Amino acid sequence: MTVVTRFAPSPTGRLHVGNIRTALHNFLFAKKHGGRFLLRIDDTDRERSTVEFDAAIRDDLDWLGLAPDTVVRQSDRFAIYEREFDRLKAAGRVYACYETPEELELRRKVLLGRGLPPVYERKPDDAPVPDDRPAHWRFKLDHGAPIEWTDLIRGPQKFDPKLLSDPVIRRADGSWLYLLPSVIDDIDLGITHVVRGEDHVSNSAGQIQMFDALGATSPDFAHEALLVAAEGKLSKRLGSYGAQHLREEGVEPMAMLSVLARIGTSQPVEPIATLDALARDFDFAHFGRAPAHFDSHDVELVNAKLVHDLPFAAVREQLPAEASEADWLAIRPNLTRVADFAGWMPVLHGAIDAPDLNHEERALVREAAAAATTIDWSEAPWKALTDAVKSATGAKGRALFHPLRLAITGRDSGPEMAGLLERIGKDAVVRRLEAAAKR
């Protein structure tokens, strides 16, 4: 089994949420069934395809953990495309056309105005050929051969080729559109499955006839529902949300992948720690036909849950060199991103500014400073400290805990104080309490 994902040039050269989702589903399907995951880079547009674009795709995939088994660049395969194009031309399955884009658009409007489908109208074989225009090329659909297949997500599909326009496969400047080269690649590389968006369904219909014209069987297709923004609009703005944005924001790759593997399916969106675990539960039977609503807030929630379970070994390289496993475990429950940990190191082992407390709070902290020198620090020092202060002052609830947290950590909120006190230690706690009482 070999499944393929295809990337074409984008304005940024980075992977956005839509094509990450498609690549992920191809990857998971291949992984679950012991197949190969092939990356095809559609770099036939030489103006938009650059070395930097290629490197950005590979960099993003590596960060996501979606490493392809094979990488194919269509710009390396032009000789194969020419050979198969000549075969189709000799068989009468491709033909030259000379209309300008403006002429085609005008004819489209005329047909729509008459209530007719805007299908390209073939010219007679003896139609005059303009002397001043280079030809572009279309694949000639067989109008007498209904197109049918069973989609892995959409179920039985049937198209009447008479209601489809003969697809353009080559531009007037000789460059290729992706339709025919992709079919030639799929045949030559032994692609068995193609997973892509449902906006390609009619393209797949035309390509099925291209496979047949080249004497090959088409791969199995799975057309997933479109990805839309949470507010329900087709998400052009999602094009700016992707791997680069996530990396800059310090989001774990598996947070994004956990969300994209499950939205639009009957399975719950929840944090999944590994690609192996995602692959085990991956099944097109779970996929729905309704648009998949993507909300970046879901990624943030899943990311926080993943961080809360990350072992020290998994994050060691991202933490300050002096951080210990005990430090990580004390702070981890309060983090939403691993990068936020560094800000807690001064609280654990450094110096903090004494907070500005009111008169009552300073009096309470003064009692705490005295109690901190007498309690047993070998077991549950936070409970012993708060019990002593409560007994001396009568304070309880927020009036007790908030001033102590502020004085000891310099922060209004954070991880459980019991764990923090053990990491900060007796001497530092006493110093901080005394400093806050004197301010």
Backbone torsions φ then ψ of 290, nearest 5 degrees = -75, 155
Task: Specify whether the CB–CB gap between 128 and 260 falls below 8 A.
Answer: no
Sequential DSSP letters for 135-165: -EEEE---TTS-EEEEETTTEEEEE-GGGSP
Helices vs. strands in the chain: H and E counts, helices first = 18, 12
Dihedral through CA 380, CA 385, CA 388, CA 393, nearest 10?
-150
| Contacts with 78 (C-beta within 8 Å, 6 or more apart), sequence order | none
Tell me the two tokens of residue 422: 């053990």
Number of Cβ within 10 Å of residue 304's Cβ equals: 18
DSSP 8-class letter at 13: S
- Tell me whether residue 236 is annotated as binding: yes
> What does the block give as tokens for 61?
């995939």
CA–CA separation, 111 and 106 (whole Å):
9
How far does the chain reach from its first CA to its final CA, in angstroms?
71
For residues 306 and 296, give the distance between their C-alpha atoms in angstroms, rounded to a whole number. 15
Query: CA-CA distance, 365 to 375, in Å (whole number)?
Result: 15
* Annotation: binding site for ATP: 236
* Annotation: binding site: 236
